[in-house]
Chains A and B, each alone.
Chain A
Amino acid sequence: MMKIKLTLLTFIISFSAIAANTPLDNLKLMQLYLDKNQLEKVEDLYDENEEILGKNWMALERLAISFERREKFKEAIETYRKIIVNFNKEAHEKILATSASKMDSSYYDKTKLQLYYYKLAFLNTQLFSKTNSYTPGNDRSKYKKNAEGFIGLARKVKVDEGDLKLLEDLLQEKINSDERMTYKSHYYASLDFISWQDRLYLVNTSGVKTNLLSTAIGTCIGGGKKWENVNFEFDLEGCFAVLTATISSEDRTVKYQQSSVAVKGFVAGPGMYFKTFSDNVLLGVHVPVKYRQGDWTNPDETQYRFEREKTYEAGYFLQSKIKIKNVSLRTRLGKVFPNPGSLWSIGLLYDF
């Protein structure tokens, strides 16, 4: 009795071992793993039985689905291509060679090419949508070209138009988004109404310094170049300033006063704006270097000399810009060190 049981057991095990190696059983297992979302097992099973399963389009389909769900889009694309090349080559070549107007449904009715073309369009769209600034340009172009190509093919074989339009919208959204992130450059001209206060000193022969304060107002004409995308704007600009000033002593014991003094200057430097609030209203900062000189009158050249009569200075501004088409209204308020007062300006810019 024991011998019979042992023989029967050996027979059952051997039979099961043989049975598990058949493609159908593997297919059922792959499907079971897919249903349970055990995606790695789908791929492991395929790898172990690649020689057999690689010749079975149903296994390849399940493998592709597994890749897709795991967002291994390139692998999924490769698998669908294999299915098309190995199992639908004739129909596929016929479809490629036929124009949309002359297409006959009999070319693809008995195949699953509608599904495969849609899948390839979808997967390439996904790949394109996930590209970023580090993706090589060739890859970006390839994904976009492939996506467009398979959308066209899918359209030829009458895949649902709504589904294809969704893919096209996704592609266009990505194209628009990338376009907005790309920096574009423009030159611009500026005309500002500008005012600042300068600190100068009148130094006598004994070395005693008297603080002088000059308040100037005038115009500053210039221009610059900017680089902007949807989020930021960076610029480099300069302007030549012509102003008129009143200067007087801050020390009441020393009387020094002069009005309508001609002052000239140059203000230049880099700046940036944030465009996150709106495309038309920008806030930012500017970090300029300022040079200025003035026709201050020395009351007695034998007794006095000026200090900081001509000087280079640096500072910072907060700036805001309101854009209406090519024209912008810009305001700035800031400080140029070591002057006590602020520097402000209000002006117009024109973008070329």
Chain B
Amino acid sequence: MKIIIAVMASALMMNAYAHEVTVKVALSPAGSFEAKSDKVKGEVKKDGAKFTAENLWVKTDELKTGIDLRDEHFHKHLASDKFPKITFTKVMAADGKGTGTLTVDDVKKDVSFTYTMKSPTKLEATINVKNSDFKLKEENYMGIGVKDDVVIVAIIDV
């Protein structure tokens, strides 16, 4: 006897959203790089024109810069072995602006961001933060340093 799969009518929630994040880092004296991941997890709820999310997170190791050695340095800079996740919690957004709590290396900071709707189901948010806000130490590799200002761009499925 086969078990009747009536669960399609039950509360089935497929929460496999394809969120992406790009962390844009400026170098000194010149240049920049991006650390990207398309494995951002978490659910965004839409209520009319308002958006909320309890917890959006990405594994630090999943952020890739395109160069293996730079990935190693980037993950080490963020202490990915001790703090494997970067989280963005208590997110609320409406009318192109939002707030949330960003946690990096166990340091929490309330941040604000702006967003635009790229399509009816995709939202692009831009967050400007500083390395020093999260007590991340200054980095320098062979004479090239990382600037304090960092821009985070997230593309979220809603």
Chain A residues close to B by CB (< 8 Å): 81, 84-85, 92, 96, 99-101, 145-146, 148-153, 155-156, 165, 168-169, 171-172, 176
* Contact status of A171 and B16, CB under 8 A, knowing A96-B7, A100-B11, A155-B11: yes
**Top-8 shortest CB links A-B:** A172-B16, A152-B12, A100-B11, A149-B7, A152-B7, A149-B5, A168-B16, A153-B7
- Closest A residue, CB atoms, query B41: A165
CA distance A85 to B5 in the complex (A): 13
Closest CB in chain A relative to B93 CB, distance in Å? 23
A81 touches B12 (CB 8 A): no
Closest CB in chain B relative to A175 CB, distance in Å? 8
- Closest A residue, CB atoms, query B42: A165
Partner of A152 from B1, B2, B13, B39 at Cβ < 8 Å: B13
B5 touches A145 (CB 8 A): yes
Partner of B13 from A96, A146, A155 at Cβ < 8 Å: A155
Closest CB in chain A relative to B155 CB, distance in Å? 15
B3 touches A81 (CB 8 A): yes
* Contact status of A99 and B11, CB under 8 A, knowing A85-B3, A146-B5, A171-B16: yes
Instruction: Known pairs A148-B8, A150-B7, A152-B11; list 11 more (Cβ under 8 Å).
Output: A99-B10, A145-B5, A146-B5, A149-B7, A151-B14, A152-B8, A153-B10, A156-B7, A169-B39, A169-B41, A171-B14
A148 touches B16 (CB 8 A): no
Interface residues of B in 2-51 (CB under 8 A from A): 2-8, 10-16, 18, 39, 41
CA distance A100 to B6 in the complex (A): 13
A156 touches B10 (CB 8 A): yes
Closest CB in chain B relative to A90 CB, distance in Å? 13
Closest CB in chain A relative to B36 CB, distance in Å? 14
- Main SS class of interface, B: loop
Chain B residues close to A by CB (< 8 Å): 1-8, 10-16, 18, 39, 41
Contacts of A169 in B (CB 8 A): 16, 39, 41
Contacts of A153 in B (CB 8 A): 7, 10
* Contact status of A81 and B5, CB under 8 A, knowing A152-B10, A165-B15, A172-B16: no
Contacts of A100 in B (CB 8 A): 10-11
B12 touches A148 (CB 8 A): yes
* Contact status of A96 and B6, CB under 8 A, knowing A152-B13, A156-B11, A176-B18: yes
* Contact status of A81 and B11, CB under 8 A, knowing A165-B41, A169-B16, A172-B18: no
B15 touches A168 (CB 8 A): yes
Closest CB in chain A relative to B141 CB, distance in Å? 26
* Contact status of A151 and B16, CB under 8 A, knowing A81-B3, A96-B4, A165-B41: no
Contacts of A172 in B (CB 8 A): 14, 16, 18
CA distance A203 to B10 in the complex (A): 85
CA distance A149 to B15 in the complex (A): 14
B14 touches A148 (CB 8 A): yes
Closest CB in chain B relative to A301 CB, distance in Å? 65
Partner of B8 from A81, A99, A145, A156 at Cβ < 8 Å: A145
CA distance A145 to B39 in the complex (A): 23
Contacts of B16 in A (CB 8 A): 168-169, 171-172
CA distance A146 to B8 in the complex (A): 9
Contacts of B7 in A (CB 8 A): 96, 149-150, 152-153, 156
- Closest A residue, CB atoms, query B10: A152
Closest CB in chain A relative to B148 CB, distance in Å? 31
B18 touches A151 (CB 8 A): no
Contacts of B4 in A (CB 8 A): 96
Contacts of B2 in A (CB 8 A): 81
Contacts of A150 in B (CB 8 A): 7
Could you list 17 examples of A-B contacts with CB < 8 Å?
Answer: A84-B3, A85-B1, A85-B3, A96-B7, A96-B10, A99-B11, A100-B10, A101-B11, A146-B5, A149-B5, A152-B8, A155-B11, A155-B12, A165-B15, A165-B41, A169-B41, A172-B18
CA distance A92 to B10 in the complex (A): 14
Closest CB in chain B relative to A55 CB, distance in Å? 16
CA distance A304 to B5 in the complex (A): 85
